[in-house]
Amino acid sequence: MTFDNNKGTVLIVDDEEMVLTSLSTLLSLETDYDVKTFVSAQKAVEHLQSNSVDLIISDFLMPEMNGLEFLTKAKSFRPEVPRIILTGFADKENAIKLINEVGLYQYIEKPWDNADLLLIVRNALEKRQLLANLLDKVKEIEGIRQAVLEAFI
């Protein structure tokens, strides 16, 4: 379950090509992350059904499926993956609702600050790595516990 967060895969969904290009260029220039972009939320869902990713960034307002719907579906396939939503609307009440309902890692307003966005992405991937390591240790401890129990039987 562990991964190298320097080589993590970031999936970005936005119906605006310019936003996808800006984000993927920023991440490609400043990190070693593998970036997958989709203008269609449905295509991104199909990708998630058969491919793992380490972080999901989605626009909120998209034509065929809004960010809330997309991230809810993404969570059903990849519940362990941190999810970030981008929006041009500074609606704090909606942000709180999204964070609570979908379990968002972060809510980012457009236009974003590149340094802040990079920090958020790196922190999300670091958190994902720490949780993956923790789950690995829990499995290891469970295996040891089971071996000890079997030794006493």
Q: Give yes or no for a contact between 50 and 26, defined as CB atoms under 8 angstroms apart.
A: no
Question: Where do the domains of the chain lie?
Answer: 9-152
**pLDDT above 90: residue 116:** yes
- What percentage of the chain exceeds 90 in pLDDT? 62
Domain 9-152 in this protein, CATH class: alpha beta
Q: Give yes or no for a contact between 110 and 67, defined as CB atoms under 8 angstroms apart.
A: no
3-class DSSP state of 103: coil
Average pLDDT over residues 87-94: 71
Instruction: Give 45 or 95, the one with higher predicted confidence.
Output: 45
User: Structure pTM?
Assistant: 0.84
How does pLDDT run across 9-48, given as a tens digit for each residue? 999 999 999 999 999 999 999 999 999 999 999 999 999 9
d(CA 99, CA 72): 11
* Percent helix, strand and coil across the chain, each to the nearest 5: 55, 15, 30
**pLDDT above 50: residue 5:** no
